[in-house]
Structure formats: structure tokens, C-alpha cells
């Protein structure tokens, strides 16, 4: 489960497992005494801590006792039990109650050094296309910029580049006429491309010709569309080639999810014909597709592929290897620092991907309070895992966070 920031009750003492402490570089047998907590604007409970116990909440006292290297935004949802203090605790940390913006700068500063070297963690595999940007994390717009423009549209991908993201993820289907189009649709991973929720009519995108697909109108009331209604109404389904030609002009890197059947060879043909191998990669939840691509194109230095996972199986590295992948793409709430470290050690690139707006809203209501906002608090927690790429619904928010980090002085 994705980190849910600790929500302490007043004066409660919480015992944290040694594995969790190691993940956050803290000493063993540590308990956190939290007399107060601060609620952020998206209802995440963030605890800012120092290694010294503060006598009071006075700002000058807080600054006097501040040790930047020991400030953490601690997030977890596992190995956590509440207990009363029995006097056996060797170390205590107290909550730091000073101006939220000032503390956040210090929190960011405490892991800035990690961010700056993260792109070098994995020595081979899928890291070539990461290092070419020389930025960490690589920001990938999930289906473009879904809160600015309609998802999977030319306008959305152009906007993604304008916002400062390096890459965009998109979904491709092969229509019955042989045209590759960029579209997501409803349905399941096993039976994708449903039109009902997206376009208000029954059927599947796979059963249409491109001329028929161009006549589709998007449903502005569909919750998956986070953009303004006018952007939804003017949206149309583009071909993959149209999007790639736009990307040639903007420099946007394109991560192609092979969504439907029969997409491997046609996608390769378009990318190779446009001479965009250095600007595109391929991914799929159906690992047989990327395995097929790898059989057709064995060169991992030129043909980058991502193994997408909806969960986190124990044999994730073996499955990625069997598929010939160069990257492993994990859903945001299955990521831990340990698994990212293992992925990089094995030579794979890493990416965290967000669900669509409906899925994030569901997580908000059912699991993690208010993660649907995808604000800096959430992105900061993901950054702490060491993941190299983040595929997000609000790339502009992540761009702003990265700019703040880059502006901080180096150690």
C-alpha cells in the first residue's frame, strides 16, 4: 500500500519497525512522540521532526534546535503499531511546529542530494533515455495533461511540453482499417477500448475505421476527463503518427502503451519510419507484446520497453527479464524504496504511474484520504522512494516541485 502519512493522536507514542526505519535512514528502536500534527491542504497528515526535543513551539527555539539532516516527511502504511511509552525508548523525535513553507523547504533540502544522483542508480537497461535529460525525476504526463486538455489528444501533448515535462505517456489501438490511433477508452486491460463512458455510445474502438473514429464526440460529463468541458467538446482522436510528428517539433519524449491487439508491428513501423527511436519507448501490461517486440528488435540500447504492473508480484524482476524489458513501471501505491533499489540494482529503469482521475478519486475515498489532488505532498513522498520517472496527471505541479528542489543550494 502506498505511504499514508502518519496521523498521530496527541501525546501518542508510535513504535516503528526496523525495516521502516532503515528505509528512512533512521536508527533502530526509535519512537516518535508527536504532541501535535499539521494538516496539509490535501488532508495528508505530515509530521516534521527533528532529533532534539523542543521545549516549546516558539519559532526562535525551533530554529535554534534545527538539524537539517534529520528532518523527514515520514510516510508509511505498514509495520506501524501504536503503544504507550514504557521508558525503554532510546531515541525520541519531536514535532517541529514552525512556518509550514519554511519547514517544507528544509524537508526538501534533506533529500535533495539523493535526487541529484538518482539518475545514475541503474547502470544499464532503460537508463539511457533517462540520462539524456539529466533531470530527476523525469516527468511524464499521463495521457498528456488531463486537467488542462482532453487526454490523449494533440492539444494535450503539446500542452505537456509547454508545461515543462520531458515526456508523455499515451495509449494506442489498431483500428480495423489498419490505422493506429491514440485513445484510452473504458473496459479492462483484458478487453480495453470500450466507447460507452467515453463517447456515450455502445461499441469498441477496435470495431471502427478511422473515418468513423473521427466522428466520435467525447462525453464532457465523464468523470475521467478532468479538463474543462470546452476542451472535451473540441477533442478528437488523433493518429499515432500525428502525435509523433508534433513531438518531433516540441522535443517531447513519447512512451507508447501498446493497448490493443496487433499494435506491436505497426507501432514499430511508424516510429522507425519517422526516425524517432531515440524519442520513443514501448510498454504494455500484456508482457507478451513487449516480449514479441524484443524478439523482433533484440537491441536493448535502441528499443526501450517497459513492463507495466498493476500490482507488485514477488517475481517482478523475473517477469521483466522474461519479457525483455528495460524498464519496470509500477503503480504509485505499490512502490517502496526497497523495490526501487532492487530494480535499479538489477539494471532496469523505474517509473511510477498514476491511475486516471476516476481511479485516483477512488483511492482518495476508499484508501488514502485525499490523494486525488496529486499535490506536492504526494509527489514528495513518491520522490523519496528513488523512482526515476513519474507518470502523473498533473505534470505542472511536479514541474514546480522539481524547480523548487533545483533552486535549493547543494550540500
pLDDT tens column, 219-249: 998 988 989 999 998 999 999 999 999 999 9
CA angle 208–214–220, rounded 5-degree value: 105
Evaluate the omega torsion of the peptide bond into residue 137 and state whether it is cis, within 30 degrees of 0: yes
207: left (phi over 0), alpha (psi -120 to 50) or beta: alpha
**Residue among 245, 390, 269 nearest 327 (CA):** 390
Ordered by where they begin, the domains of the chain are: 4-110 (no CATH), 116-407 (3.20.20.190)
In the beta sheet, which residues pair with residue 181? 173, 239
Find out whether 143 and 171 touch, Cβ atoms under 8 Å.
yes
**Residue 33 — pLDDT band, cuts 50, 70, 90?**
very low
User: How many other CB atoms are found less than 10 A from the CB of residue 252?
Assistant: 23
- Give the per-residue pLDDT at 302: 97
Helices 264-273 and 287-296 cross at an angle (nearest 10°) of 50
> What is the DSSP code string of 247-271?
HHHH--EEEEEE-STT-HHHHHHHH
Between residues 372 and 358, the one the model is more confident about:
358
- Report which secondary-structure segment, H or E, holds 365: helix 357-366
What's the predicted TM-score (pTM) here? 0.70
Find out whether 93 and 32 touch, Cβ atoms under 8 Å.
yes
C-alpha–C-alpha distance, residues 307 and 284, integer Å: 6
Find out whether 267 and 208 touch, Cβ atoms under 8 Å.
no
Find out whether 263 and 293 touch, Cβ atoms under 8 Å.
no
What are the strands, taking DSSP E only, across 311-381?
A: 327-331, 349-353
Q: What percent of the chain has pLDDT over 70?
A: 64
Does residue 83 register a pLDDT over 70?
no
- 363-368 contacts, C-beta under 8 A, 24 or more apart: 363/333, 367/1, 367/2, 367/4, 367/333, 368/2, 368/4, 368/333
Alpha-carbon separation of residue 236 from 151, 156, 176, 199, 248 (angstroms): 10, 11, 18, 11, 20
Say which residues have a Cβ less than 8 Å from residue 409's Cβ, sequence separation at least 6.
none
- Give the per-residue pLDDT at 135: 60
**Residue 22 — pLDDT band, cuts 50, 70, 90?**
very low
SS3 30: strand
**Residue among 16, 34, 40, 106 nearest 67 (CA):** 106
Q: What is the mean pLDDT of the chain?
A: 73
Say which residues have a Cβ less than 8 Å from residue 381's Cβ, sequence separation at least 6.
2, 3, 5, 73, 75
Alpha-carbon separation of residue 331 from 49, 129, 319, 328 (angstroms): 29, 20, 16, 10
Does residue 373 register a pLDDT over 50?
yes
Helices 154-163 and 395-407 cross at an angle (nearest 10°) of 10
**pLDDT mean over 192-211:** 95
Rounded (10°) CA dihedral 334, 184, 273, 299: 20
- Give the per-residue pLDDT at 367: 60
Amino acid at each position: 500500500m502506498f505511504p499514508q502519512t502518519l496521523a498521530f493522536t496527541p501525546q501518542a507514542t508510535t513504535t516503528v519497525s526496523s525495516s521502516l526505519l532503515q528505509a528512512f535512514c533512521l536508527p533502530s528502536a526509535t519512537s516518535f512522540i508527536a504532541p501535535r500534527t499539521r494538516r496539509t491542504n490535501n488532508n495528508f497528515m505530515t509530521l516534521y521532526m527533528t532529533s532534539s526535543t523542543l521545549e516549546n513551539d516558539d519559532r526562535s527555539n525551533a530554529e535554534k534546535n534545527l538539524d537539517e539532516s534529520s528532518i523527514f516527511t515520514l510516510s508509511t502504511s505498514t509495520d506501524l503499531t501504536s503503544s504507550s511509552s514504557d521508558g525503554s525508548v532510546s531515541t525520541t523525535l519531536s514535532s517541529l511546529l514552525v512556518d509550514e513553507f519554511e519547514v517544507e523547504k528544509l524537508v526538501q533540502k534533506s533529500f535533495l542530494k539523493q535526487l541529484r544522483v538518482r539518475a545514475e542508480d541503474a547502470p544499464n537497461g532503460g537508463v539511457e533515455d533517462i540520462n539524456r535529460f539529466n533531470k530527476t525525476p523525469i516527468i511524464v504526463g499521463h495521457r498528456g495533461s488531463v486537467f488542462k486538455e482532453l487526454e490523449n489528444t494533440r492539444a494535450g501533448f503539446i500542452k505537456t511540453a509547454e508545461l515543462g515535462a520531458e515526456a508523455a505517456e499515451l495509449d494506442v489501438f489498431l483500428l480495423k482499417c489498419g490505422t493506429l490511433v491514440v485513445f484510452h477508452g473504458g473496459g479492462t486491460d483484458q478487453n480495453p477500448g470500450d466507447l460507452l463512458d467515453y463517447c456515450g455510445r455502445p461499441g469498441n474502438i477496435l470495431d471502427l475505421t478511422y473515418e468513423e473514429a473521427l466522428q466520435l464526440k467525447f462525453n464532457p460529463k465523464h468523470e475521467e476527463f478532468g479538463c474543462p468541458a470546452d476542451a472535451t467538446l473540441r477533442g478528437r482522436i488523433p493518429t499515432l503518427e500525428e502525435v509523433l510528428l508534433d513531438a518531433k517539433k516540441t522535443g517531447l519524449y513519447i512512451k507508447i502503451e501498446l493497448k490493443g491487439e496487433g499494435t506491436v508491428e505497426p507501432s514499430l513501423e511508424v516510429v522507425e519510419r519517422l526516425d524517432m527511436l531515440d524519442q520513443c519507448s514501448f510498454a504494455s501490461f500484456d508482457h507478451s507484446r513487449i516480449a514479441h517486440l524484443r524478439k523482433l528488435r533484440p537491441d536493448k540500447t535502441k528499443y526501450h520497453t517497459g513492463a507495466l504492473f498493476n500490482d507488485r508480484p514477488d517475481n517482478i524482476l523475473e517477469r521483466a527479464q522474461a519479457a525483455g524489458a528495460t524498464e519496470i513501471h509500477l503503480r504509485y501505491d505499490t512502490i517502496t524504496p526497497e523495490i526501487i533499489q532492487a530494480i535499479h540494482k538489477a539494471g532496469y529503469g523505474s517509473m511510477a504511474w498514476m491511475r486516471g482521475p476516476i481511479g485516483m478519486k477512488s483511492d482518495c475515498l476508499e484508501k488514502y484520504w485525499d490523494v486525488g489532488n496529486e499535490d506536492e505532498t504526494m509527489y514528495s513522498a513518491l520522490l523519496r522512494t528513488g523512482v526515476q520517472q513519474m507518470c502523473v496527471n498533473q505534470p505542472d505541479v511536479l514541474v514546480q516541485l522539481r524547480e523548487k528542489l533545483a533552486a535549493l543550494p547543494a550540500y
